[in-house]
Structure 1
Amino acid sequence: MAGELVLVTGGTGFIGIKVIQLALKAGYSVRAAVRSQQKADAVLETPTVKSIKPGSRLTFTIVPDILAENAYDEAANGVRYIIHVASPVIKGEGFPPEQWESAIVEPAIKGTSSILEAAYKTEGIKRIVITSSEVAIIPWEEFIAKEVDTVFDDKYEIPFPAGPYSHIFEAYAASKVRALVFTKQFIKEKKPEWDVINIMPSFVIGENEMITDPKLVSDGTVSAAFAQVLGEDSGWGNVPSTSVHVADVARLHVEALNAKIEGNQSFLAVSEGERGTRWEEAVDIVNRNFPEAVKKGIFPNNGTARTKRTKVDASRTEKVFGFKFQSYEEQVKSVAKQYLSLVGAPEA
């Protein structure tokens, strides 16, 4: 219900900042868990938050180490809902193989267990929404390597993955599987008064107001689409044909707080239906929509991207939530507009 207090973890991240903004727009009060006051100040400086003028409806709680024992206990006190976005992400060179378990898998499970335990100790919580991933229910080999005819939906389940892992992204996928398994087991054993909804995005693309340096616009999963626009290779290799607009992912998190959405479910967030995303089409999208920027060389638009077919059906999510995911074209345009804004160039 609008006006009630929502705890948002990971609020300074790509998805998290959008969740904060949409929750405020929906009328909720937000308590954002951040690592430092500097991070809190950065949230307050985003154009959308400044335009909302949330005042006392947006507060912060400092959680410097989300992996510490009882890390979220104080943060959860007095809230009615929790949106748990915080989780390890892969950036740059990532971590060496010997650290994948300790730096990626274990923190994801610890962060999830910490938020669930904090909620279990707190009276009055109604629902927890957790950012999971499509890789929590799609086998690694079939997601990244093999092209199969299987159409994966949100009822699909896969075995508990054990290391060693062949790739850092496989370790990330394992972290999401194990966090999901832990959550389901926690609910089964503890039978809490609240329920859980898992949102499972694909490759998330779109603008990020936490970024003020144009060099960082093509960071993380955004590089799968936008590196080629900047004349580079994405570095992802053959990318599964699944993407989603960051605004749609955030919208799912906030709208999942509505009691009309039945709890203890998982929802995929993937656009473009079974056809999926064709990553290399970003070049044509930018040529059509930003011809002057291409002509001036602001967008070299001559990099490379490669698509690996992966069939995912997220139609149930669209039906339950009552909206259609934005297209890959809208995703790319969103990033392009932010880039042009940051370099001081017109959109036309």
Structure 2
Amino acid sequence: MNTVLLTGISGYIGLHSAKQLLEAGYTVRGTVRSQTKGQEVRNTLTAASVDTKNLTIVELDLTSDRGWDDAAKGCDFVMHMASPFVIANPKDPQALITPAVDGSLRALRAAKKAGVKRVVLTSSVLSMMGSMKTGTFGPSDWTDIDAPDVSTYTKSKTLAEKAAWDFVNSQEGDDQMELTVIAPGGVFGPPLGRNITGQSMSMLDQMLRGKLPMVPKAAFPMVDVRDVAKLHVQALTLPEATGKRFIAASAEPNGFQSAAQFLKDEGYKGPSTRIAPDFLLRLMAKFDREAKGMLGLLGMHLSSNNSETRELFGWTPIPFQQSVLETAKAVKTIQGKA
């Protein structure tokens, strides 16, 4: 039975990945920042009818060396998902960039020392498309982090992924550890537990409550969280996946306006399809760090070349409309129990 070290198991994607790994027969060693989080993970998975007998929880910090070698010891694979995710630009950019980059390198160093076969790293399409506005991006593209309005989060994902490739490509000798990168688009889909504090869940929650009177004019490839988890699990053992970056997102762009329209068509009263004027968001960005973090998305209308992902993984993405509506149903249920 293969053992997977899954960093960031308590996250939105992490919980779905843990579920699929355990159901596929893997032993999972999940990392959390506190044991309280660890108990929440176990309770959430149990409530989702997942057998957790092959799950262990370890406490790790992206900014500390402590515990990483022991956590990776005896593992066959590492799935590195842990990374800070906030839209708002922090006052100090290194508050996001340092844990993202250093955390990735800590995971890779520990994996290498433990003799791990392959690391699957969660990146983002932002590391490919973050400095583009129109057209089609693919796995060979990289974001120019010095371009205007590129958010700190986008920079953190780009720099963390580049650091990972540099580490792997600098290996010497015949026994080299493999790296595969999965780069999700905007992630929707029902959460596994009741936590809707993440960015996409929080936005949809506000939309349903009528707290989002306008949405930004932006459209880019989206993906369902269940598909993201599925691709990560497949990437552990797919021979052709080694040394490649895979787009986990639709080919076509989807916007916040279309998400709101799907919800209105389904009878939800809260969502608004009004487009926020760019000048208003730019004005808000002078005073609001979250608005500033959104500036790079303004006017974006991007498609992706996800053909290699679809072909190698035999993947047919869950349609965005289905993802949005199933997410809304789950969020409304959680709101009702709040």
TMscore range, shorter length: 0.7 to 0.9
Matched, 1:154 2:131: no
| Counterpart for residue 200 of structure 1 | 183
Offset of 1:237 from its aligned partner?
Answer: 3.1
Matched, 1:286 2:263: yes
Q: Which runs of 5+ in 1 are unaligned?
A: none
Aligned pairs, number: 313
CA contact (8 A) 1:30 1:58 kept: yes
For residues 214-233 of structure 1, the aligned pairs below 5 Å read 216=196, 219-223=198-202, 227-233=206-212
| Counterpart for residue 172 of structure 1 | 153
- Hey, what's the Cα distance between the residues in 2 that align with 1:226 and 1:320? 35
CA contact (8 A) 2:214 2:272 kept: no
CA contact (8 A) 1:198 1:266 kept: yes
Pick one of 264, 275, 279 that aligns with 2:243: 264
CA contact (8 A) 2:204 2:328 kept: no
- Hey, what's the Cα distance between the residues in 1 that align with 2:70 and 2:213? 40
| Counterpart for residue 106 of structure 1 | 98
Pick one of 121, 131, 134 that aligns with 2:125: 134
Q: Which runs of 5+ in 2 are unaligned?
A: 277-298
| Counterpart for residue 28 of structure 2 | 30
Offset of 1:228 from its aligned partner?
Answer: 3.0
Offset of 1:40 from its aligned partner?
Answer: 1.0
SS state at 1:228 partner: helix
Letter in 2 for 1:285: F
CA offsets, 1:46-80, max 9 Å, x none? 1566512221x0111111x2211255111101100
Matched, 1:66 2:51: no
Letter in 2 for 1:152: F
- Hey, what's the Cα distance between the residues in 2 that align with 1:235 and 1:197? 38
SS state at 1:280 partner: helix
Matched, 1:8 2:6: yes
- Deviating more after overlay: 304-313 vs 40-49: 304-313
- Hey, what's the Cα distance between the residues in 2 that align with 1:128 and 1:236? 37
- Hey, what's the Cα distance between the residues in 1 that align with 2:204 and 2:221? 11
CA contact (8 A) 2:48 2:192 kept: no
In structure 2, the CA distance between the partners of 1:107 and 1:231, relative to structure 1 (3 Å rule), is same
- Hey, what's the Cα distance between the residues in 2 that align with 1:84 and 1:59? 16
Offset of 1:195 from its aligned partner?
Answer: 0.3
- Hey, what's the Cα distance between the residues in 1 that align with 2:255 and 2:217? 11
CA contact (8 A) 1:230 1:301 kept: yes
| Counterpart for residue 270 of structure 2 | 300
Matched, 1:254 2:233: yes
Offset of 1:286 from its aligned partner?
Answer: 2.3
Offset of 1:36 from its aligned partner?
Answer: 1.5
- Hey, what's the Cα distance between the residues in 1 that align with 2:207 and 2:238? 42
CA contact (8 A) 2:120 2:235 kept: yes
Q: Give the alignment's TM-score, normalised by structure 1.
A: 0.82
Offset of 1:139 from its aligned partner?
Answer: 4.4
Offset of 1:242 from its aligned partner?
Answer: 2.0
- Hey, what's the Cα distance between the residues in 2 that align with 1:304 and 1:253? 36
Pick one of 337, 344, 347 that aligns with 2:329: 337
Q: Alignment RMSD, CA only?
A: 2.5
Q: Give the alignment's TM-score, normalised by structure 2.
A: 0.84
Matched, 1:117 2:94: no
CA contact (8 A) 2:257 2:273 kept: no
| Counterpart for residue 95 of structure 1 | 90
Quote the sequence identity (%): 27
Offset of 1:281 from its aligned partner?
Answer: 2.1
Matched, 1:209 2:192: yes
Offset of 1:239 from its aligned partner?
Answer: 2.8
Offset of 1:135 from its aligned partner?
Answer: 1.4
CA contact (8 A) 1:12 1:39 kept: yes
- Hey, what's the Cα distance between the residues in 2 that align with 1:80 and 1:49? 28
Offset of 1:177 from its aligned partner?
Answer: 1.6
- Hey, what's the Cα distance between the residues in 1 that align with 2:205 and 2:304? 22
Matched, 1:326 2:318: yes
- Hey, what's the Cα distance between the residues in 1 that align with 2:204 and 2:306? 20
